[in-house]
Amino acid sequence: MTAPAQYPIGTPGKAWGSVEKSTWLSRQIRLRSYADEVLARIELLRARFDVTQYGLIEYGDERFPLLAVRSRDWRDELPCVLVTGGVHGYETSGVHGALQFVEQRAADYAGRVNLLVAPCISPWAYERIHRWNADAIDPNRSFREGSPAQESAALMQLVAPLRDRFLVHVDLHETTDTDESEFGPALAARDGKEFEPHGIPDGFYVVGDDEDPQPEFQQAIIAAVAKVTHIAPADAKGEIIGSKVVGNGIINYALRNLGLCGSVTKARYRTTTEVYPDSPRATPEQCNAAQVAAVCAAIDFALARGG
């Protein structure tokens, strides 16, 4: 074992200040276009869905409109379903899976549920293929009152009027090799802590809520996704990324305490998907299809159980 290399920014044991954060920011490079890859695709949905702008992310002279897609036949008596992608901008299949769900499968649920889809919550990070926003904040630890992340605050505001009316919320994520090669070490350096790797699981898994885990619901999603891509096995300790595996491909987190997007509604059925795009056994198409399968399985399960 060699000692892990020190993260190139900051002093070990000391949390970053503004100088370290601007050094970090200066190293972030724009690698893809939110306008071309996300907004252009949402524009095409306007023919069949209601598209609304729910916020505007501003960093320096950059502007990113935040768009949400809604069922056109919205009816107040129907249960609501929230699908969120790109809370972590680098997790590509979260964004493209949400868009693919709307394009290919949303029509199947017309007249049965009201759909609200926010496909790319953190667009600056989408373009940089990064986990944090430009303020070196993880939006997916920031879903709380007085959020320090404008991305999280905007989604909370969008959801607020409907918060009690959601039956389902699926938050689409990925676990990637860069979580341990870059983002984990960067987080530890930012907070002046030591980085502790857990290993990256090879396969798909879901994260339920410690406070209301809904194991049958999670299992139904795993069963549907297993037809598309392989499910992550538990490691030698019976864990996935440091959490106890409670069912095939299922772990639970304290969503609300951690300020995770999965706690943004009071939906009875909520889950966070984790696709593994770096697997030699998974293509980008499979990753997107796995996200779509997870969303459909979640809605199907909830509808079968009744609101």
Which of these ranges, 14-22, 50-58, 83-91, 225-233, lies near Zn ion under the rule CB under 5 A? 83-91
Is 130 among the residues that bind Zn ion (CB under 5 A)?
no
> Residue written as tokens 């609501």?
80
Token output for 299: 């809605």
Burial code (b: 16+ CB inside 10 Å, e: under 16) for 178-196 equals: bbbebbbbbbbbbeeeeee
The interface mask with Zn ion, positions 228-267, x = CB under 5 A, is ----------------------------------------
**Ramachandran region of residue 168, left (φ > 0), alpha (ψ -120 to 50) or beta?**
beta
> Residue written as tokens 């990753």?
287
How many residues sit close enough to Zn ion to count as binding (CB under 5 A)? Answer: 3
Would you say 21 or 88 has its CB closer to Zn ion? 88
Least distance in angstroms from the C-beta of 117 to Zn ion: 17
Would you say 21 or 131 has its CB closer to Zn ion? 131
Site for Zn ion in 188-207 (CB under 5 A): none
Which of these ranges, 80-88, 113-121, 216-224, 297-305, lies near Zn ion under the rule CB under 5 A? 80-88
C-alpha to C-alpha distance for 38 and 119, rounded to whole angstroms? 8
Would you say 176 or 218 has its CB closer to Zn ion? 176
Tell me how far CA of residue 251 lies from CA of 167, 182, 232, 265, 295, in angstroms: 21, 23, 11, 20, 18
Would you say 49 or 132 has its CB closer to Zn ion? 132
Is 88 among the residues that bind Zn ion (CB under 5 A)?
yes
Alpha carbons within 13 A on the beta-carbon side of 217: 29
Would you say 139 or 213 has its CB closer to Zn ion? 139
Which of these ranges, 68-76, 88-96, 236-244, 262-270, lies near Zn ion under the rule CB under 5 A? 88-96
Which of these ranges, 4-12, 30-38, 84-92, 117-125, lies near Zn ion under the rule CB under 5 A? 84-92
Distance of CA 69 to the CA centre of its chain: 16
Instruction: Say how many C-beta atoms besides its own lie within 10 A of residue 216's C-beta.
Output: 11
What is the DSSP track for 178-236?
HIIIIIHHHHHHHTT---------SSBEEEEETTB--HHHHHHHHHHHTTTSPBPPP-T
Is 96 among the residues that bind Zn ion (CB under 5 A)?
no
Would you say 183 or 195 has its CB closer to Zn ion? 183
Out of 130, 173, 190, 270, the residue judged to bind Zn ion by CB under 5 A: 173
C-alpha to C-alpha distance for 307 and 302, rounded to whole angstroms? 7
Would you say 173 or 190 has its CB closer to Zn ion? 173
Which of these ranges, 13-21, 70-78, 160-168, 172-180, lies near Zn ion under the rule CB under 5 A? 172-180
C-alpha to C-alpha distance for 115 and 175, rounded to whole angstroms? 26
Site of interaction with Zn ion (CB under 5 A): 88, 91, 173
